[in-house]
Amino acid sequence: MSRIDQLFAQLKRERRKALMPFVTAGDPDLDFTAAVLVELARRGSSLCELGIPYSDPIADGPVIQASYTRALDKKIKLAGILEMLAGVAPKIIAPIVTMVSYAIVYRHGLSQYVADAQRAGAAGAIVPDLLVEEAADLSRICRAADFSLVQLVTPTTPRDRALRIAESSTGFLYYVSVTGITGERTQLPQSLVDNVGWLREQTPLPICIGFGISTPEHVKHLAPVADGLIVGSAVVRRIAEASSKPRAAVLKDVGDYMAGLIAALESA
């Protein structure tokens, strides 16, 4: 079992759900990214998603796009990110999953990426642009290493295709809540609960919902049907203030925000 398998098994025994914040690696710098990861884990985050900056947005809204641009402008490289991760992973209990374009994985080498990321302390990878038709090689490598390969299902994914994606995924399935890009939203689609309910009847994998989740109300609404919830833009937006505020204040703001969502999740 991978570390993520173990985590969700434990959460299921305890009748709890996971909350997973997203952080862009290197925005505003790698030292601060490390500090944020430690703070998020200290506040009770179950997992942490670490975005590897990429020049061509896949499904990222303006907040995350801007954070990737800032990191790339500072010449943040994969090697530096993995070095940072190796220093911070032993300090936290929460598994860390990289959100990474398949182009980066492919260029680095599939086996090499898995080995290097795992050596640095990552427990898996979310690869949003990996087509299920091309996933067999990476899926095989990840399974052999007990390194979770997380893939995405969207509201427009045909149901037969969603089943194929579930079969090639490990760790958990990332269910995209909306048709569109990442970003904070005031409302989520009414069909979301029904769609996730159908999917969870088809696969034993835990299902985590992302895109648009930003409020305690969202968390309480989705907690009954999801195994975990992913919060990205709302966290990244707060971190972006590190350039104009004292960093200790930004860390506290991010931690307080996440603690509020965790409290909502636990009371749902």
CB contact at 8 A, 226 and 177? no
CA angle 16, 150, 221 (to 5 degrees): 40
The pLDDT value given to residue 145: 97
Task: With beta carbons less than 8 A apart as the criterion, state whether 119 and 26 touch.
Answer: no
Give the model's pLDDT for residue 177.
Answer: 76
Q: What are the residue numbers of the active site?
A: 49, 60
pLDDT computed for residue 183 by the predictor: 41
Would you state the pLDDT for residue 37? 98
pLDDT of residue 57: 67
Instruction: State the CATH number of the domain containing residue 15.
Output: 3.20.20.70
Q: Quote the Cα angle for 1-50-64, to 5°.
A: 140
Written as tens digits, the pLDDT of the chain (268 aa) is: 899 999 999 999 999 999 999 999 999 999 999 999 999 999 999 999 999 999 886 766 788 989 999 999 999 999 999 999 999 999 999 999 999 999 999 999 999 999 999 999 999 999 999 999 999 999 999 999 999 999 999 888 999 999 999 999 999 999 987 554 444 444 555 677 788 888 989 999 999 998 778 899 989 888 888 999 999 889 999 999 887 899 999 999 999 999 999 999 998 7
* Structure confidence at residue 179 (pLDDT): 53
Number of structural domains found in the chain:
1
pLDDT for position 131: 94
pLDDT (0 to 100) of residue 60: 67
As beta bridge partners, residue 72 has none
Q: How far apart are CA 5 and CA 45, in angstroms?
A: 16
Give the integer Cα–Cα distance in Å for 25 and 34: 9
Q: Which domain holds residue 108?
A: 3-267
Looking at residue 18, what is its pLDDT? 96
The pLDDT, as a whole number, for residue 56 is 80
Q: Which two tokens stand for residue 62?
A: 């303006």
